[in-house]
A and B are shown apart, each in its own frame.
Chain A
């Protein structure tokens, strides 16, 4: 493994690999396993530091290796936060190391706020990245609205180090909420939970997260929870309205700000599934299919947790569980073997443009 401090050295390492049929597996803090690519690790963790934070413009720029904690602390000092709420997956994946901003962007890592505020890909305003030819390119910029040219920011975000080594990221950020509230119903089965969450998510109360913890995964009776984040008076008002609206689904309790924050941190980090499987997947799907898929996973011996009102299903279990996947479900391995996803020839040709010598996509 090498971990260059400067972008020029990252660039040189990739250029050399390109010239010598070499391969690199791009890594950040090494807290996520199961990423694809060549064998030797090119770590971006030493290329770190916040370049600027312009709170009034809702923008922060940092190098890829900057620890997420450092970015979050800088934002927090100005009352702001990362909109996509990237999880800390160390407990879930049994890894150590320091989660980095670059790792979160390269894997489009997004937490419970995905359903309301979008994924990391929705907030990346600009990138610098090194292509498989060892050239540095810029995509996007530092402003919130930008449609100039092809949107390579979105393509690179979530490309798992296979299309380029992202060296610097400019992100849109937002004010952190004054208060967090939660409306939770215990004892719902998966189908009833999805119905309750759908009711919450279609309400006018700006539900910012909706998760369901199954009885097998950490909660005695199963818990269906929805989150409201805003100014204190709004949170109190909307939690109350939401609880009333959900009465037909079950009796709801309201969590305090403190309890809400700790509960949603657990959900964010997929803590209920920690230690439950040698393999873990993040499955995206239609919420209306979530209960059926959860039942199928359970029948095959797996454990699950719903996020995004059922649009995300975290699955833990034996590697063979991936064989249980059906149409209309997108399985991405967080731990274990990558799940193949078919791609069109146009897309393979784009991969060849960005990584012509297979430096990143070692086959």
Chain B
């Protein structure tokens, strides 16, 4: 289990006064302090960890967030910003002495500009709602994490979220133009703007992905992109991970960058097929989902080129979808992968490392070895174009020993990712989950430098503390 720091006793002692102070700033319905009502906020997508906060506030405006921050920083109270609570790394895990600022009520789309191609949205707008709001005008918002129906743009900015289409369209930081945010002292500031490169120095790039360590982000200016004429997917099954990996290399080497290039290993194929009946090849060791965009003719041309490349790798099966419905069916299994694994195992941990793509077969081989050693099943889903690997480690949370083994297995997988030249997290963030592994990737001095930069924004370490950086015992 990951150790959390002791709550500040003086803050716990002043609980009633702090809650009263919050009620003085916000409407009654925007402050939650009753234990039963705090329960929904005690965890996030990393549900093995639970801790009810001191209180929860539900502000409706940036000004309210600023007022709350002024009070809390004066009182020395820790703050946990929270979007939809879908973080898989425990990025929104509360602490007993902390106030959660839940941004779910800040869910307005403030401005859409078709000429300058941006949208201004509040932090509590869901990822998918942005695309829904602009698609009638021919636009979309590109990053598409699996949780896009629920996850909020404020959380996407905190974690620099990715998705299945980032090989082509980039991650959150490549699609955000500006932010409105509140400092720890409660000042409202703007970073970036309504056009690219709005500031000579890229403070925006530092803040995106900072996991709530630097500022509380309340509004986001996102870049919106024109929808393609159409998109279509194909799937191809192969006899081994090595062969499928070589096929990925061949596609990239041919000059084609598909909008999505997803890899599933045998356990993942079987779990997803049992769940979604998507027609996945059960006799394949590995499978690729490949998606291209453009007009019908462009899709045909690209899919034909890719089909010819796959042909060279002795595929077990291949299916090029002819209609959007067939594409949707191919995606259905992949998008339901987490639910599918949830059906065959009581619990699973979704890991999130990145590796150089050339090391894929070797890494999957070693994960299989570890799986045997730990006695835990694992299914692998891989954003093959960009090297982002998601091993789903299956365990039983009711058995503490099984959970401990799963955590140790997961940590070994991430160590392996770093060892082969990759990193601990490609899109889920460090949170609490990977906090204590940071030393595997960074030298102590490098972590110290990052800590000092956090301290430059948050000298009292009140913003989302005990995340990202390993605890330093005074």
- What residues make up the interface of A, taking CB atoms closer than 8 Å to B? 54-59, 79, 108, 110, 114-115, 118-119, 121-122, 131, 135, 137-138, 141-155, 157-160, 163, 174-176, 178, 194, 198, 201-204, 206, 231, 233-234, 237, 284-288, 308, 311, 328, 330, 332, 341, 343-344, 346-347, 349-350, 352-354
Task: Let me know if A56 and B438 touch, CB within 8 A.
Answer: no
Interface: B267 (CB within 8 A):
no
Contact of A350 among B116, B255, B456 (CB under 8 A): B456
Once A146-B426, A175-B256 are accepted as A-B contacts, the answer to whether A108 and B202 lie under 8 Å apart by CB is yes
Q: Please give, as numbers and ranges, the residues of chain A lying within 8 Å of B210 by CB-CB distance.
A: 150-151
Interface: B295 (CB within 8 A):
yes
Contact of A114 among B196, B226, B256 (CB under 8 A): B196
Interface: B273 (CB within 8 A):
no
B467 to chain A, nearest CB (A): 11
Q: Please give, as numbers and ranges, the residues of chain A lying within 8 Å of B209 by CB-CB distance.
A: 147, 150-151
Interface: B75 (CB within 8 A):
no
**20 extra interface residue pairs, beta carbon distance < 8 Å, beyond A54-B358, A58-B252, A237-B298:** A131-B449, A137-B445, A138-B443, A141-B423, A143-B426, A144-B167, A144-B387, A145-B162, A145-B386, A147-B430, A148-B424, A149-B468, A151-B206, A152-B450, A154-B202, A157-B205, A286-B195, A288-B116, A330-B199, A353-B453
Task: Let me know if B354 and A145 touch, CB within 8 A.
Answer: yes
Q: Please give, as numbers and ranges, the residues of chain A lying within 8 Å of B253 by CB-CB distance.
A: 55-56
Cα distance A328–B428 when bound, in Å? 34
Cα distance A79–B193 when bound, in Å? 35
Cα distance A149–B189 when bound, in Å? 23
DSSP majority for the B interface?
A: loop
- Interface hits, B104-134 → A, CB 8 Å: 113-117
A332 to chain B, nearest CB (A): 5
**A201 and chain B: residue at smallest CB distance:** B117
Interface: B198 (CB within 8 A):
yes
Q: Please give, as numbers and ranges, the residues of chain B lying within 8 Å of A150 by CB-CB distance.
A: 206, 209-210, 213, 450, 453-454
Task: Let me know if A353 and B456 touch, CB within 8 A.
Answer: yes
Cα distance A284–B383 when bound, in Å? 34
Interface: B376 (CB within 8 A):
no
- Interface hits, B426-468 → A, CB 8 Å: 426-430, 434, 438, 441-443, 445-447, 449-450, 452-457, 468
Interface: B228 (CB within 8 A):
yes
Cα distance A178–B302 when bound, in Å? 13
Task: Let me know if A143 and B197 touch, CB within 8 A.
Answer: no
- What residues make up the interface of B, taking CB atoms closer than 8 Å to A? 113-117, 138-139, 159-160, 162, 166-167, 170-171, 173-174, 183, 189, 193-206, 208-210, 213-214, 226-229, 249, 252-253, 255-257, 294-295, 297-298, 301-302, 354-358, 383, 385-388, 421-430, 434, 438, 441-443, 445-447, 449-450, 452-457, 468
Cα distance A194–B214 when bound, in Å? 37
Task: Let me know if B356 and A54 touch, CB within 8 A.
Answer: yes
Once A57-B387, A237-B297, A332-B200 are accepted as A-B contacts, the answer to whether A145 and B166 lie under 8 Å apart by CB is yes
Cα distance A141–B388 when bound, in Å? 13
Q: Please give, as numbers and ranges, the residues of chain A lying within 8 Å of B138 by CB-CB distance.
A: 202, 204
Once A54-B356, A146-B426, A237-B297 are accepted as A-B contacts, the answer to whether A330 and B387 lie under 8 Å apart by CB is no
Task: Let me know if B430 and A149 touch, CB within 8 A.
Answer: yes
Q: Please give, as numbers and ranges, the residues of chain B lying within 8 Å of A142 by CB-CB distance.
A: 356, 421
Once A147-B426, A237-B295 are accepted as A-B contacts, the answer to whether A201 and B226 lie under 8 Å apart by CB is yes
Task: Let me know if A151 and B208 touch, CB within 8 A.
Answer: yes
Task: Let me know if A135 and B445 touch, CB within 8 A.
Answer: yes
Cα distance A174–B256 when bound, in Å? 9
Cα distance A165–B226 when bound, in Å? 38
Q: Please give, as numbers and ranges, the residues of chain A lying within 8 Å of B357 by CB-CB distance.
A: 56-57
Cα distance A147–B253 when bound, in Å? 26
B215 to chain A, nearest CB (A): 8
A160 to chain B, nearest CB (A): 8
Q: List 27 A-B contacts (CB under 8 A).
A: A57-B356, A59-B356, A115-B196, A118-B170, A119-B197, A142-B421, A143-B386, A143-B422, A147-B427, A148-B430, A150-B454, A152-B450, A154-B205, A154-B206, A155-B202, A159-B201, A174-B257, A175-B256, A198-B115, A204-B138, A206-B228, A231-B255, A234-B298, A284-B197, A349-B456, A350-B453, A352-B456
B254 to chain A, nearest CB (A): 8
Task: Let me know if B117 and A202 touch, CB within 8 A.
Answer: yes
Cα distance A157–B67 when bound, in Å? 34
Cα distance A45–B208 when bound, in Å? 32
Q: Please give, as numbers and ranges, the residues of chain B lying within 8 Å of A79 by CB-CB distance.
A: 255
Once A122-B170, A147-B159, A202-B114 are accepted as A-B contacts, the answer to whether A152 and B421 lie under 8 Å apart by CB is no
Task: Let me know if B421 and A311 touch, CB within 8 A.
Answer: no
**B450 and chain A: residue at smallest CB distance:** A150
Q: Please give, as numbers and ranges, the residues of chain A lying within 8 Å of B429 by CB-CB distance.
A: 147
Task: Let me know if A287 and B205 touch, CB within 8 A.
Answer: no
Q: Please give, as numbers and ranges, the residues of chain B lying within 8 Å of A233 by CB-CB distance.
A: 297-298, 301
Once A122-B174, A286-B194, A311-B196 are accepted as A-B contacts, the answer to whether A143 and B201 lie under 8 Å apart by CB is no
Q: Please give, as numbers and ranges, the residues of chain B lying within 8 Å of A284 by CB-CB distance.
A: 195-198
Cα distance A286–B227 when bound, in Å? 21
Q: Please give, as numbers and ranges, the residues of chain A lying within 8 Å of B114 by CB-CB distance.
A: 198, 202
Q: Please give, as numbers and ranges, the residues of chain A lying within 8 Å of B193 by CB-CB distance.
A: 328, 330
Query: Nearest 10 A-B pairs (CB), nearest first?
Result: A154-B205, A349-B456, A145-B426, A144-B386, A175-B255, A143-B354, A56-B249, A155-B206, A145-B388, A350-B456
Once A131-B449, A148-B438 are accepted as A-B contacts, the answer to whether A343 and B201 lie under 8 Å apart by CB is yes
B142 to chain A, nearest CB (A): 12
Q: Please give, as numbers and ranges, the residues of chain B lying within 8 Å of A151 by CB-CB distance.
A: 160, 173, 205-206, 208-210
Task: Let me know if A347 and B422 touch, CB within 8 A.
Answer: no
Cα distance A131–B383 when bound, in Å? 34
Cα distance A203–B449 when bound, in Å? 44
A339 to chain B, nearest CB (A): 8
Task: Let me know if B201 and A347 touch, CB within 8 A.
Answer: yes
Cα distance A198–B294 when bound, in Å? 20
Cα distance A56–B249 when bound, in Å? 6
A107 to chain B, nearest CB (A): 10
Q: Please give, as numbers and ranges, the residues of chain A lying within 8 Å of B449 by CB-CB distance.
A: 131, 137, 152, 353-354
Q: Please give, as numbers and ranges, the residues of chain A lying within 8 Å of B385 by CB-CB distance.
A: 144
Q: Please give, as numbers and ranges, the residues of chain B lying within 8 Å of A176 by CB-CB distance.
A: 255
Cα distance A294–B228 when bound, in Å? 32
Task: Let me know if A143 and B160 touch, CB within 8 A.
Answer: no
Task: Let me know if B454 and A341 touch, CB within 8 A.
Answer: no
Task: Let me know if B189 and A344 touch, CB within 8 A.
Answer: yes
Q: Please give, as numbers and ranges, the residues of chain B lying within 8 Å of A343 by CB-CB distance.
A: 201
B432 to chain A, nearest CB (A): 14
Cα distance A145–B214 when bound, in Å? 21
Cα distance A174–B114 when bound, in Å? 28
